[in-house]
Structure 1
Amino acid sequence: MTLNPTAPSPSSRRRPVAVPALLAALALTAACSNSSGGSGGGGGTAQTLTGDCAKYQPYAGHSGTTVTMFASILSPESDNLEKSWAEFSKCTGIKISYEGSNDFESQLPVRVAGGNAPDFAIIPQPGLLAQMVKSGKVVKPPAQTVTNQDKWSPVWKTYGSVDGTFYAAPMSANMKSLVWYSPKTFAAAGYEVPKTWADLMALSDRIAKAGGPKPWCGGIASGTATGWPATDWLEEVVLGTYGGDVYDQWVGHQVKFSDQKITTAMQTVADWMLNPAWVNGGYGDVKSIATTTFQDAGAPILTGKCAMLQQASFYEAQWPKGTKVAPDGDVFAFHLPAVNPAIANPVEGGGEFLAAFSGRPEVQAVQNYLSSSDWASSRVRTASGWVSANQGVDKSLYTDPIDKLSAEALTDPSATFRFDASDMMPAAIGSGQEWKSLTAWFAEGQSVQKVAGDIDAAWPK
């Protein structure tokens, strides 16, 4: 069975071709009205907003202005993004001119260096944010944007900061720490969703010995990004074994890949996803993981050839049309347990951050709105498949069960949350040698020691 071929990229994990969705703004009724006592150029007398528009009063006073935004988010998701601020634009008179690009990561530095920076960029990698801050072009956010961070777990502010200074407010979040499975299959076989790592490993062994489906399936092929799912498996185990401090030191290479802690974590991954008795259901042996696309990896769950797949919340888009995703459906997901029970609720994820390259008043007004719980709630209402870790969003707004499960984990104040490690490591490692070496680990059976040594040797001096 072939899954949805519209594959997310490994960084922000989504793409296809952008189509502006500002038509949504035209559909707004005249319920929103505003009165302005000055010119509409943004510096005149403040507007008085009435009716449904009154809630946007804190952002008023800049009617007739335009701000530009550049990101990697493409249609159809960009359509939903534009719909989420359509009423804000209608009421305040601030036009947000959005552009999405498949080449965002390479084009943004070029535009900034050439003096053609957008007013805003939605940046999915903290490493790219740091690069932009070092260019000297990123403008610190206004006070209200800073205050809005109180609705996020404090660690998120650090990912929007460079050298201890806050620059970019988080917008979206995604949940990596999930295991997909078939509730129907589990119920028929008498399997229970495991609550601990030991229970998960025992269940895997039980399924393998039953002689039916393999307990696990997986795929790490992703074109030029082949290998990225394997980085997630290692990150989950490092975080779930040692907690946030060691994870952070590993990201910064104070703890090397060849350190005993990381090689031990790699061996845990090997016992799990390189176990010939446990993988790769529906496709072949361990080596087949390297040639199976991540989009297709979960298909054997639906045909009864595989029991589980470790993948992120965004994998929901890969199930074939008509697949019921629910606790009693064709597929659902549970939270991957911590390897070490002493680690409180480890959650690995990713997200996006709004960085400004201008301090104009209308830019700051948009920045304040897009960092608020009100905007996050608007985006949740617009369409499913998007999650915020903003604790001010009412969870009842989530209509998709995976979105709700993810939001609960991402906003849990007791969670040990960490951002995707490979997205924070230098690009030569996180999207270079680590992908290459972990692929060789699966495809060629290279040893843990060689894989770790090769990655350490490639680390920028």
Structure 2
Amino acid sequence: MISSVGRRRALPVAAACALALIMAGCGSAATMDRASVARSAECEPYRPYQGHDGTTVSMLGPVTHLEANKLAQAWRHFVNCTGIRIDYKGSSNFEKDLQDRVDKNDLPDIALFSQPGQMQGFVADGKLKPASAAVNTAAQKGWSTDWQNYGMANGTRYATPLGASVKSLVWYSPQAFKKRGYEVPESWDDLIALSDRIAASGAKPWCAGIESGAATGWPATDWIEDVALRLAGPAVYDRWVKHEITFNDPQIVAVVDKAGTILRNPRYVNGGYAGVASIATTSYVSAGLPLLTGKCTLHRQASFYGNQWPRGTKVAEDGDIFAFYLPPIDPAKGKPVLVAGDFVAAFADRPEVEAVWAYLASAEFAASRAPLGGWVSANKNIDLGLFTNPVDRLSAEILRDPKSVARFDASDQMPAKVGAGSFWTGMTAWIKGQGTRATLDAIEASWP
């Protein structure tokens, strides 16, 4: 759970006004004759989307604050060159707010989904519109079959990928590793050996936190999903997501117990905070900060966590903080990668809506957003050199690696009652000491 979907603060008033101006096409270009702007060389890439000057497309998504500003910057030239105004509203409680709007028949033209499960529910209810030919073409050019399939239903495309995040990362301090003679582990056994070495020195190697307001528990579900891919393998993972095997199946019990060898190990956690139970009350936002003071050494969290480090922190391979790929348990099962992301889907099929959707599905949009940092795309046509942020570049390289076996966040694909409900609360109870079997029996009983 949680990708660019972080539960972030709303924009301050001044920033919101600036964002509105950018999305409306502010600056000198906005005062120029629209036809002259549209014919300019700068607008050549946007010709396929022109012909809808003076229209407005409303959009709702989970991206707020700085990331919403970056979205607006990324599509600024599109807005100026097409004359289509994008009226974006970000919500830190997106899933509920969207459902409320659907219930009131107050639909946005476009929504940015981070939970394919919720999106598929709206498909089943007949709310979402099928993709146009232009959108289909852009999707087929840009993404692998696996990524495309998350937006399909009964052979029809209803959504296209936008941003992505790599969740299979462990954050660390390169300076601390160099000082203490540690090496980045390349296998699970190496990871455990490193953890034991740190613990033997009297320190707690791992720091963690799963508190996230109403969404408390989601970081623990990410741990379970990452271990499931590594221990049970992608095929079992897929069956688990579809409920073809139950939550309390022995294979999933083994997965949770394996995760517990780190998360519920009092010798390993919770560095910089307190004991194991403190994980449940430690905010996921601040959970990794003890890396900066040497109070912990390892913190498993997604690529988007790069946005949480304090200003002035050098995030790079030779910097204060960087990340490495969470190594496999069984190399024979490939290089499993847990991913999340946002998907674009439409509740309206007006021509200007289809134009915006087709643009967001294109490599041109991704190429505009990537250099702004704090964002990754799995679009295979993007020049990796555009990812100037080192962690973004690392994540893009992992996604492009032919050995990688990517699977989307399980909880985001499950029915909301489980994926955004009992799975979160169950893992929170587990962190606090509830038994594995009792936890999984309760989650299984909640499956609708």
Question: Please, what TM-score do these two structures have when normalized by structure 2?
Answer: 0.93
The 1:401–1:116 alpha-carbon spacing in structure 2 relative to 1, beyond 3 Å, is same
Say if 1:11 and 1:88 are closer, same or farther in 2 by CA, change over 3 A: closer
Counterpart contact for 1:175–1:348, Cα < 8 Å: yes
Structure 1 residue 14: Cα displacement:
4.2
Q: Which moved more, 1:197-206 or 1:66-75?
A: 66-75
- Paired residues in the alignment total 440
| Cα deviation code 1:222-280 (max 9, x no counterpart) | 22222111101100000122332211111111111211111111111111221121111
Deviation digits for residues 269-299 of structure 1, max 9, x if unmatched? Answer: 1112211211111222212212222122112
Does 2:196 match 1:198? no
Tell me the SS of whatever aligns to 2:164: strand
Aligned twin of 2:347: 357
8 Å CA contact 1:170, 1:351 repeated in 2: yes
2:391 to 378, 402, 407: 402
SS in 2 for 1:333: strand
Q: Structure 1 pair 48/290, CA: closer, same or farther in 2 (3 Å)?
A: closer
Q: Between the two proteins, what is the percent identity of the paired residues?
A: 48
Q: SS at 2:307's partner residue?
A: helix
- In the alignment, what sits opposite 1:313? 303
| 1:456 maps onto 2:447 in alignment | no
Q: Does 1:447 align with 2:435?
A: yes
Q: Deviations over 1:73-120 (max 9, x none)?
A: 222211111121111111111121222233431232332343321211
1:140-159 matches, cutoff 5 A: 140-150=130-140, 151-159=142-150
Closer, same or farther: CA 222–111 of 1 in aligned 2, 3 Å: closer
Q: CA RMSD in A?
A: 2.1
Verify the 8 A CA contact 1:49 1:60 in the aligned structure 2: no
User: Contact (CA 8 Å) 1:169, 1:371: kept in 2 or not?
Assistant: yes
Q: Which moved more, 1:21-30 or 1:389-398?
A: 21-30
1:386 and 2:375 equivalent?
A: yes
Which residue in 1 is equivalent to 2:6? 13
1:30–1:429 CA distance, 2 compared to 1 (3 A) = closer
Q: Distance in 2 between matches of 1:325 and 1:32?
A: 41
Q: Relative to 1, partners in 2 of residues 1:134 and 1:328: Cα closer, same or farther, differing over 3 Å?
A: same
Check the 8 A contact 2:265/2:276 in 1, yes or no: yes
TM normalised by structure 1 equals 0.90
Matches within 5 A, 1:32-111: 35=35, 49-111=39-101
* Structure 1 unaligned residues grouped into runs of 5+: 1-7, 37-46
3-state SS in 2 of match to 1:215: coil
Q: C-alpha deviations, 1:124-151, integer Å up to 9, x for none?
A: 1101111211221211111121122232
Amino acid at match of 1:348: L
**What code does the residue aligned with 1:262 have?**
I
Q: Distance in 1 between matches of 2:33 and 2:332?
A: 55
2-side partners of 1:218 and 1:110: how far apart?
33
Which of 414, 420, 430 matches 1:425?
414
**Matched residue, 2:122:** 132
The corresponding residue for 2:259 is: 269
Q: Which moved more, 1:231-240 or 1:97-106?
A: 97-106
Tell me how far apart the structure 2 counterparts of residues 35 and 441 of structure 1 sit (CA, whole Å): 61
SS of residue paired to 2:379 = coil
Where 1:358 maps in the other structure, the secondary structure is coil
Question: Contact between 2:205 and 2:271, CA under 8 Å: does it hold in 1?
Answer: yes
Out of 214, 218, 225, the position equivalent to 1:224 is 214
Contact between 1:148 and 1:372, CA under 8 Å: does it hold in 2? yes
Q: 164, 167, 174: which one pairs with 2:165? A: 174
1:288 pairs with 2:278: yes
| Contact persistence 1:11–1:125 (CA under 8 A) | no
Contact 2:3 2:114 in 1 (8 A): no
Query: Which one of the candidate residues 337, 359, 369 is aligned to 1:369?
Result: 359
Q: Look up the SS of the partner of 1:88 in the other structure.
A: helix
CA distance in 1, matches of 2:160, 2:377: 12
CA displacement 1:399-443 (0-9 Å, x = unmatched)? 111111111112334321111111111122112112222111111
Is the contact made by 1:242 and 1:340 (CA closer than 8 Å) also made in structure 2?
A: no
Pairing partner for 1:414 from 403, 410, 414: 403
Match of 1:41 in 2: none
Check the 8 A contact 1:10/1:228 in 2, yes or no. Answer: no
Residue type of the alignment partner of 2:252: I
Matching residue of 1:3:
none
